[in-house]
Structure 1
Amino acid sequence: MNQYEFTVTVRQQYLPEESEPGHHQFTFAYTITIRNTGETLAQLISRHWIITDSDDRVQEINGLGVIGHQPFLKPGAQFEYTSWAMIATPVGTMRGEYFCLAEDGTRFEVLIPEFALTGPRTLH
């Protein structure tokens, strides 16, 4: 086990009621669960997202915390939140990283594995 380690899992969902396909607006919710699988108390400080649609248009998002929180996670603890993204095509991807700070002052990054954003009837 790594002393500084978070595990990230993602669930995504297309939001038809928030989308306007005729105006090239496809909205997706994603729920992230962040679990401290390391051995040290640590805080999630900031995030960086790369959102890419199927026409290779890229949005980059940087900011403090997640949904207004900078959670402290003890070993074994988890934090879950839901947010959203909008892209111009019915298919895209998201990936990124969290920047964290352990209680001993060590800074570390947590990669968020790439996941698909898929609207209705887009995968066969």
Structure 2
Amino acid sequence: MQSVSLKLFVELNNVESWRTTPGRVTFGAGDCSVRLNGVNKWKRSCRMIARASDRDAGAGPESQSEQNTSSVFERNQFYALMKQQMELAVMSENYEEAARLRDSLKLFEEEEPVLRLQALMKEAVANERFEDAAKYRNQIKEIAPHYLLKCSSDATTLGIRVQARSVYIEGRSQPLRGQYFYAYRIRITNNSNRPVQLLKRHWIITNANEKSEDVWGIGVIGEQPVILPSNSFEYSSACPLTTPSGRMEGDFEMKYIDKVGSKTFNVAVAPFALSALGDVIEDT
């Protein structure tokens, strides 16, 4: 297997001074040669040179599989960085650079295993080659099983339905600093015949390195809403992450309010992905 060695130089120009920060990251990929030069509206220039290396050319199939799986995070981090640099190039009206970055992204998408297999799967479904589609789907499962999780979820507990949807906020993310920002929207529908009140929330937030954090709080967005039968309550919030992908899940503590002394109960929020790439696997 070949790998790409990426050497990154960042120069930040502000009113006060110039500052240069060198860095280096290596991740697995196919044959690839990428050179990017971008300037954003804050006068930050980013020059990246990626070159292929044959140091892993003799690795066996099992070793290749392990390295493919472990390098998904780094490849996605690079992909998210390139996307942001293209947006910044457009904002600064550096259209020549934006075009180069667009072409580099297209090349990357063609060579990145998960994205390439996703495109092949979509094409197979469109042409009703369902056996091929299933084959590509299974290959994605082998490479990155956690990518099967969607950016949305839907679960019902005791007649209380909770729908969740996340979206990557590119404008508030800084891949160079390992900062990724996600917004999510929650819709709670009371399909029972009793009014309920949301009392507490509990979130489990897990990043791409399987590091989890538990977050507890009173109500949601400062409220403890009462939801009547056949009614819904919606709210939006946000979650920062240190990796370009991860997941959220949790539960809401609720109680019926039509009877004094009712016990509280937990309503599940099914896991949903936080992903800079969006949904990789779509319904087939």
Tell me the TM-score normalised to structure 2 length: 0.41
Aligned positions of 1:46-61 closer than 5 A:
46-61=200-215
Equivalent in the alignment of 1:22: 176
Q: State which structure, 1 or 2, has the greater radius of gyration over its C-alpha atoms.
A: 2
Partner Cα distance (1:106, 1:122) in 2:
38
- Greater RCO structure (CA 8 Å; 6+ sep): 1
- Asked if structure 2 preserves the Cα contact closer than 8 Å seen for 1:14 and 1:29, the reply is yes
Equivalent in the alignment of 2:264: 107
Partner Cα distance (2:230, 2:204) in 1:
28
**CA pair 100-121 structure 1, distance change in 2 beyond 3 A:** closer
Query: Which residues of structure 1 form unaligned runs of 5+?
Result: none
Partner Cα distance (2:268, 2:219) in 1:
15
Partner Cα distance (2:268, 2:192) in 1:
14
**1:122 Cα deviation (Å)?**
8.4
- Asked if structure 2 preserves the Cα contact closer than 8 Å seen for 1:90 and 1:122, the reply is no
- Could you say which structure has the higher helix fraction? 2
- Asked if structure 1 preserves the Cα contact closer than 8 Å seen for 2:204 and 2:250, the reply is yes
Query: Structure 1, residues 31-67: CA drift from partner, whole Å, max 9, x if none?
Result: 0000011111110000000000011111211000000
Equivalent in the alignment of 2:99: none
Read off the aligned partner of 1:42 and give its amino acid letter. V
Identity rate, percent: 34
Q: CA RMSD in A?
A: 2.0
2:201 aligned counterpart, secondary structure: strand
Runs of at least 4 residues of structure 1 off by over 3 A?
120-124
Partner Cα distance (1:123, 1:35) in 2:
27
Partner Cα distance (2:279, 2:192) in 1:
38
Match of 1:118 among 256, 261, 275: 275
Read off the aligned partner of 1:112 and give its amino acid letter. V
**1:123 Cα deviation (Å)?**
3.9
- Asked if structure 1 preserves the Cα contact closer than 8 Å seen for 2:202 and 2:251, the reply is yes
Aligned positions of 1:1-124 closer than 5 A:
4-103=158-257, 104=259, 105-120=262-277, 123=280
**CA pair 97-81 structure 1, distance change in 2 beyond 3 A:** same
Query: Which residues of structure 2 form unaligned runs of 5+?
Result: 1-155
- Could you say which structure has the higher strand fraction? 1
